[in-house]
Amino acid sequence: MKHIAVIGVGYVGLTTAACLAELGHHVTGVDMDEGKIVLLRRGDIPFSEPELPELVEQNVRAGRLNFTTSYQEAMQRADMAFICVGTPPTPSGHADMSQVEEAARQVALSATRSLIVVLKSTTPPGGNAERVADILARHLSPGINAPLVVNPEFLREGSAVYDTFHPDRAVIGAWDSAAAEAVAALYAPLRCPVLLTDPASAQLTKYASNAFLATKISFINEISRIAERVGANIHAIAQGMGFDERIGAEFLESGLGYGGSCFPKDVLALSAIAEQQGYYSQFLHAVTDINAGQRGLAVAKLGEVLGDLHGKAIGVLGLAFKSHTDDVRESPALSVISMLCQQGAVVRAYDPVATSTAQKVLPPHAALEYCADAYAAVRGCHAVLIATNWPEFRSLDWSRVHSSMAGNAVMDGRGLLSPDAMRGMGFEYLAFAN
């Protein structure tokens, strides 16, 4: 059993803290956001993530998990500190390292004993790990050591707890082999492959993994553009490709493209890393461009059917960047809503859990209304656009939807519905290549 401080209790930090506590460790989560800590101390979770509320509650009750805004309190007995703060994109696409550097400085200043510092935040290779190690060394009291271990996180939002307990691998990059082994020991109960490597390789493994998954999505979206022109069905194609084990069936869902707090920023950051080293990656720029283009294509398809979008009512189902989360960072749904409003459409939006997060991000607009349920959102609409892959949109009573709409167009931006069934009910069914 270890005493562990987790710095930053966002999506990654809170999940990591709760899962480490569940594995028997004593964990203190620290965040500079007092509001988050107040919520957590009251037993509330600051965001929506399946299984997490129960896990946090159980471990707080068992006395293994607590929360504070004080680094001193969290670091008092810490054997390890996990840095899980954000690395958002700068305007030039680089990863902003300021939260990580500040967290490292605070960890070092409040350390009263030697400990291992584990960098879970996604950070680019090319000097950043070295800089964090240097910040630690400069701010530690004499006689205290804090070797740095780079241990990138691979969880997905919406299945964060499951992914943490069932990881495909742990990647551990360190200069100090004893520190690397100590972090590897934490993963032993999870029985996953553990890759021990150097910090730069660990960092680049994370970016390469995200860029590869983003590439699969842009690739299938590129194929869907070709498929549409030759009258082929993209779902059949993806299925046929996916049977080939060398290709794999996952991440071949065509549609509005990827969003979220990771793929868009990490592909950009990888391009920026390459450019900093004098290499322009045409390939990564193409992945980003294809992805961005899907949103405009969806709006154009609606325009083709409805003519001028001005004054047309469009029901948008989904605001989150994917199902089972309230996260709207880089959500394709929000870009599409902005495009529709710009073209003069009246938007009626609904999401099972992400309305309040969307309201904080989208500027209020006279033509944008948030609705309490999917049926309210589609009522009186000329068209419906499915923007997020929530399962509940698949199981709506679509004949009820049809009879309550003013028009009959449905743009299925996530390939959720059966084209034949929808057309059979009298919808003008629009999608990417089917």
Ligand X SMILES: NC(=O)c1ccc[n+]([C@@H]2O[C@H](COP(=O)([O-])OP(=O)(O)OC[C@H]3O[C@@H](n4cnc5c(N)ncnc54)[C@H](O)[C@@H]3O)[C@@H](O)[C@H]2O)c1
Task: Please report, in range form, the residues annotated as the binding site.
Answer: 31, 36, 87, 122, 154-157, 206, 251-255, 259, 265, 322, 329
Q: Does 210 bind ligand UPG (CB under 6 A)?
A: yes
Of the two residues 10 and 259, which places its CB atom closer to ligand UPG in the complex? Answer: 259
Q: Which two tokens stand for residue 324?
A: 């089972």
| Angstrom distance (rounded) from CA 80 to CA 183 | 9
User: Which region, judged by CB under 6 A, interacts with ligand X, from 27-35, 268-276, 308-316, 336-344?
Assistant: 27-35
Known binding residues for NAD(+) are 31, 36, 87, 122, 157, 265, 329
Of the two residues 71 and 398, which places its CB atom closer to ligand X in the complex? Answer: 71
* Closest residue by beta carbon to ligand X: 10
Q: Which two tokens stand for residue 335?
A: 């870009």
Q: Which two tokens stand for residue 379?
A: 């009522």
Q: Does 154 bind ligand UPG (CB under 6 A)?
A: yes
426 to 398, 410, 416: CA distances (angstroms): 10, 10, 17
Q: Does 413 bind ligand UPG (CB under 6 A)?
A: no
- Which one of 19, 84, 262, 381 is the catalytic residue? 262
Of the two residues 217 and 319, which places its CB atom closer to ligand UPG in the complex? Answer: 217
Task: Please return the burial class of 428, using the count of CB atoms within 10 Å of its CB with bins 0-12, 13-18 and 19+.
Answer: middle
Q: Which of 262, 290, 302, 319 binds ligand X (CB under 6 A)?
A: 262
Backbone angles phi, psi at 79, to 5 degrees: -85, -25
Of the two residues 33 and 54, which places its CB atom closer to ligand X in the complex? Answer: 33
| Tokens 């009750």 -> residue | 61
Strand order in the sheet with 368-370: 368-370, 346-350, 313-317, 383-386, 409-412, 428-430
Backbone angles phi, psi at 86, to 5 degrees: -75, 155
Which one of ligand UPG, ligand X, none is in contact with 407 (Cβ closer than 5 to 8 A by kind)?
none
* Closest residue by beta carbon to ligand UPG: 262
Backbone angles phi, psi at 347, to 5 degrees: -110, 130
Phi-psi region of 78 (alpha: psi -120 to 50; beta: other; left: phi over 0): beta
Which one of ligand UPG, ligand X, none is in contact with 217 (Cβ closer than 5 to 8 A by kind)?
ligand UPG
Residue 262 annotated to the active site: yes
| DSSP string over 367-379 | TEEE-SSHHHHHT
Q: Which of 30, 97, 381, 383 binds ligand X (CB under 6 A)?
A: 30
List residues near ligand UPG by CB under 6 A. 122, 153-157, 210, 213, 217, 251-253, 255, 257-260, 262-263, 321-322, 389
Active site residues: 262
List residues near ligand X by CB under 6 A. 7-13, 30-33, 36, 84-87, 99, 102-103, 121-122, 153, 155, 157, 261-262
